[in-house]
Amino acid sequence: MRVGLAASLWFLGVCAAFGQSPEGPPAFDVASVKASAATEGMERGERGMRPDQITTSPGGVTMMNVRFKSVVQWAYHLQAIQVTGPGWIDANRYDIVAKAAGPVTTDQLRAMTQTLLAQRFKLAFHKETKEMPAYVVTVAKGGHKMTQSQGEGEMQVLPDNNNNRMVAHFTHVTLSELAELASSPLQGVVVDQTGLKGAWDFTLDASSFAMSQPTGIDDAINMVIQAVNQQLGIKIEEKKVPAEVLIVDHAEKVPVEN
């Protein structure tokens, strides 16, 4: 009798296990997604577009006036040059306010944003590995000149209001974020090989850019490389490396309603 009861309980347990639906992908508890007023203004021919604004907290992410491409880029932790697709993904902008059920990490927020892109924009894509021009970042021979950030905080870039020079103060910047910042002016994938962990504070003076006008894109890139080397003690070398590229095959311009 006991054997039969034990077998029945085991059988019911197995059936229950197989009958459970698999846990779904990580998702936000609530999310508001709508076209940005900046996109609507652009469609009317207005100018004056503001830069993308993405801020995170332990409980969610807020993206104001962000290009669709930037949302994909942030969700999949890629640099701008690694995301391609229809022209509108670099033009149409959205306001997204998404909250998790509780405190989560930034990586979990990125995973939840991936789910949001699939559900609300019907995003479909594929990935390829391509040989691309890249910039490998290492610590210069004399050592870096940055200061380790104190406490917690998001990356901030503040202009120096005490003089007329083109000076900006950067705080709580990880090397991954620095690589993302550098990828745009360098027009290539930036690979961090410094081995530096955590967040850093530093100041960049771009006055030399204004004083000596670059004659072309190569000249401008060399100026960026020299400034970072001299002011931050960070060495940047151009190489070709295999890099992952995300290609958007399909996405809806109008997201699913909130």
Confidence of residue 50 (pLDDT cuts 50, 70, 90): low
The span from the CA of 122 to the CA of 228, in Å, is: 40
Q: For residue 82, which of 198, 236, 246, 227 has the smallest C-alpha distance?
A: 246
Greater confidence (34 vs 43) lies with 34
Residue type for position 244: E
The span from the CA of 90 to the CA of 69, in Å, is: 5
Confidence of residue 46 (pLDDT cuts 50, 70, 90): very low
Task: Report the pLDDT value the prediction gives residue 212, as an integer from 0 to 100.
Answer: 64
Task: Report the pLDDT value the prediction gives residue 15, as an integer from 0 to 100.
Answer: 36
Highest mean pLDDT among 109-118, 144-153, 203-212: 109-118
Token pair recorded at residue 15: 């059936």
**H-helix segments, 100-237:** 106-120, 175-186, 207-211, 217-232
Task: Report the pLDDT value the prediction gives residue 150, as an integer from 0 to 100.
Answer: 92
What's the average model confidence in pLDDT over 189-196?
A: 91
3-state SS class at 220: helix
CA distances from 3 to 9, 79, 122 (A): 10, 61, 52
Length of the chain: 258
What's the whole-number average pLDDT of the chain? 83
Can you give the residue ranges of every domain in the chain?
Answer: 30-130+244-250, 131-242
Task: Kindly report, residue by residue over 6-41, the tens digit of the pLDDT.
Answer: 334 333 333 333 334 346 789 999 999 999 986 554
Q: Is 0.75 surpassed by the pTM of this model?
A: no
Task: Report the pLDDT value the prediction gives residue 177, as an integer from 0 to 100.
Answer: 86
Greater confidence (51 vs 115) lies with 115
3-state SS class at 128: strand
Give the burial class of 93: count Cβ atoms within 10 A of its Cβ; 0-12 exposed, 13-18 middle, 19 or more buried.
buried
**H-helix segments, 64-196:** 68-75, 106-120, 175-186
Task: Report the pLDDT value the prediction gives residue 6, as an integer from 0 to 100.
Answer: 39
Task: Kindly report, residue by residue over 151-167, the tens digit of the pLDDT.
Answer: 888 888 888 766 656 78
Task: Kindly report, residue by residue over 210-237, the tens digit of the pLDDT.
Answer: 666 666 677 778 888 888 999 999 999 9
* Region of poorest pLDDT, from 21-25, 111-115, 196-200, 205-209: 21-25
Task: Report the pLDDT value the prediction gives residue 17, as an integer from 0 to 100.
Answer: 37
DSSP single-letter state for residue 23: P
Per-residue pLDDT for 242 more than 90? Answer: no
Task: Report the pLDDT value the prediction gives residue 183, as an integer from 0 to 100.
Answer: 81
Confidence of residue 47 (pLDDT cuts 50, 70, 90): very low
Task: Kindly report, residue by residue over 65-74, the tens digit of the pLDDT.
Answer: 999 999 999 9
